[in-house]
Amino acid sequence: MAHTFYKYQGTGNDFVFLDNRQQTFSKNNTKLIAQLCDRRFGIGADGLILLENDDTTDFKMVYFNADGNESSMCGNGGRCIVAFAKFLNIIGGKTTFMAIDGVHEAIISSEDIALKMQDVTSIENTANYTFLNTGSPHYVTNVDSVKSINVKLEGAKIRYGTPYNETGTNVNFVTQVNEDTFAVRTYERGVEDETLSCGTGVTAVALAMHKQQKTKATSVTLQTEGGTLKVSFNEENKGYSNIWLKGPAKQVFKGEIEW
């Protein structure tokens, strides 16, 4: 049977989208999800996202990594599902939706989608790295040049290392460009490779750089391999609030696939 799907990307972070408001897709079929995300034997994507009905918000987001397993929050996926919901005429210029880490707000402009992230109240800051959860766990480390890092090799060492070997962590390598701009490359768990961009990752980097006093700015520009994102926030006594992730989200194509 042929099923309709949509492909979206946010700064090169790409996703397969399915409208699952009628509950026609089985969320337990991890093998099928992984196959759909496979770039040689399927559609190809960093993850698969279902749009479903929700009782208290406009819609619900269910996100799966490319390995087929349901995962924690995906920032670029969150921005892309807002664009998808707008395409389906579910929402207008503003929305609230449910994700695995709770309710998110989003605002749609002509070019970008701004997604409000959850408050961050705990940050582990050491001489060599900063660790925090921005909807997904992120390890942030500064390097002389992100261009020279073997992200897959070095990221995997940290991702599977102590103390993250039970659930794993995403890993971000950062180089400062100027006062309020940072270049970022990210290794994503579940993808088990570098992705061109990571929304929760750049959010973590912006907060980590402010926490490390690398910048005094509360609106930070993040240059990823797939494009530019912006993160703004308010500093609190023990963390950060009013965190917004902003950038483009575009439909790439619509298709049909049999399973």
Q: Residues with catalytic annotation?
A: 74, 198
Q: 70: Cβ–Cβ under 8 A, 6 or more apart, which residues?
A: 27, 62, 63, 64, 100
Closest CA to 51 of 35, 63, 42: 63
Alpha-carbon distance 234 to 40, whole Å? 43
The one-letter amino acid code at 42 reads G
Strands 170-178 and 137-142: parallel
Beta bridge partners of 159: none
Residue labelled with tokens 């700064």:
11
Alpha-carbon distance 229 to 221, whole Å? 6
Hey, what's the torsion of the CAs at 13, 202, 133, 96, to 10 degrees?
-70
| Residue 170 burial by Cβ neighbours in a 10 Å radius (0-12, 13-18, 19+) | buried
> 45 by DSSP, 3-state: which?
coil
Alpha-carbon distance 245 to 151, whole Å? 23
Structure tokens at 208: 């980590």
Structure tokens at 96: 């609230």
- DSSP letter assigned to residue 110: S
